[in-house]
Amino acid sequence: MSSRRGNSLWADARWSLRRNRAAMTAMTIMAIVCVLVLLAPLLSSYEFDSTDWDRISAPPSFATGHWFGTDDVGRDLFVRTLYGGRISLLVGVAATLVSLVIGIAWGATAGYVGGRTDQLMMRTVDVMYAMPFMFFVILLMVFFGRNILLIFVAVGAVNWLDMARIVRGQTLSLKKKEFIEAARAGGVSNFNIVRRHIVPNLLGVVIIYVTLTIPQVILVESFLSFLGLGVQEPMTSWGALVNDGAQAMESAPWALIFPALFLALTLFCFNFLGDGLRDALDPRDRRTS
């Protein structure tokens, strides 16, 4: 495979992604959300954990500067929503990285080594697939305290199964290519073949699955926070905010609606982008033609 053809694959992908209006819109909205979340402290004069004693459970208002209103202890919901977004996105990206590393290592090894090892490794994946994994994450959170680091590890450690399967499949077909054979004939060690030749060629598939895994992870974190098992006060995440909002929704519906909107919008954009990337990078899986 010459580098020229490699280029044209990516150029092709870029071209078809640009033409996909839904995916481009999704990317724009995601960029806006990311900028908002990063610039959170600069956008409002309120702190995320300080109370405005005069305005408790106040509705959204431009005059007071509480654009999304305040919660039942008078904290500004605009700032809290953005800070919650920091945690949600951070967990999404970090836990996805954990699952990425495990999944690629596992899948590439199984696919490259093959034989018994492959069977054993993939059988393990099958067994883990059959586990009620959400229940195990809940158990982990309950028993080992509720810190963010554990969320990354717990979610990442149970979310790598899809990645491992896909990577293995790709590796199996890559293994038979001439350039791998050439590398082996040239005396490159197995480890280096996997590292330098197999893994970089998995990039396309991996990118698609990263975009699809991030929203899944954000969802899991929100789920945990919603049950009260995720991040702890005064820090917050979108899931925790939705939970707080749901409890106060009869008197203060804005506390539910804004975080819910941000959470849904972000997940929506990631899913749309993932779909667009799949169409762009993986012609075989094109469902609509």
Partner 1 sequence: MLSFAFRRFLSAIPTLLILIALAFALIRVAPGGPFDTEKQLPPEIEARLNEAYHLDEPLYQQFGRYLLGLAQGDFGPSFQYKDFTVTELIAAGFPVSLKLGGLAMLLALLAGISIGTLAALRQNSQTDHVAMAAAMTGISIPNFVLAPLLVLLFAVTLRWLPAGGLGDGGIANLVLPVISLALPQIAYISRLTRGSMIEVLRSDFIRTARAQGLPGREVILGHALKPAMLPIVSYLGPATAGIITGSVVIEQIFGVPGLGRYFVQGALNRDYTLVMGVVVFYGVLIIVFNFLVDLAYRWLDPRVKL
**Interface contacts to partner 1, rule CB under 8 A:** 126-127, 130-132, 134-136, 138-140, 142-144, 215, 219, 222-223, 226-229, 239, 242-243, 245-246, 249-250, 253, 256-257, 260, 263-264, 267-268, 271-272, 275, 287-288
- Which residue, 62 or 143, is less far from partner 1 as judged by CB? 143
Residue 270 C-beta: closest distance to partner 1, Å: 8
Local structure of 202: helix, strand or coil: coil
What DSSP character marks residue 76? B
Residue 130 C-beta: closest distance to partner 1, Å: 5
- Which residue, 5 or 287, is less far from partner 1 as judged by CB? 287
SS3 annotation, 241-270: HHHHHHHCCCCCCHHHHHHHHHHHHHHHHH
Distance between first and last Cα of the chain: 27
**Cα(258)–Cα(244) distance, rounded to whole angstroms?**
12
- Which residue, 202 or 242, is less far from partner 1 as judged by CB? 242
- Which residue, 25 or 51, is less far from partner 1 as judged by CB? 25
- Which residue, 198 or 269, is less far from partner 1 as judged by CB? 269
Residue 267 C-beta: closest distance to partner 1, Å: 4
**Cα(76)–Cα(66) distance, rounded to whole angstroms?**
6
Residue 61 C-beta: closest distance to partner 1, Å: 20
Residue 221 C-beta: closest distance to partner 1, Å: 11
The CA-atom distances, in angstroms, between 179 and each of 1, 2, 164, 198 are 7, 10, 23, 10
What lies within 8 Å, CB to CB, of 135 at 6+ separation is none
> Which tokens in the block code for residue 12?
């092709």
Residue 243 C-beta: closest distance to partner 1, Å: 8
- Which residue, 98 or 158, is less far from partner 1 as judged by CB? 158
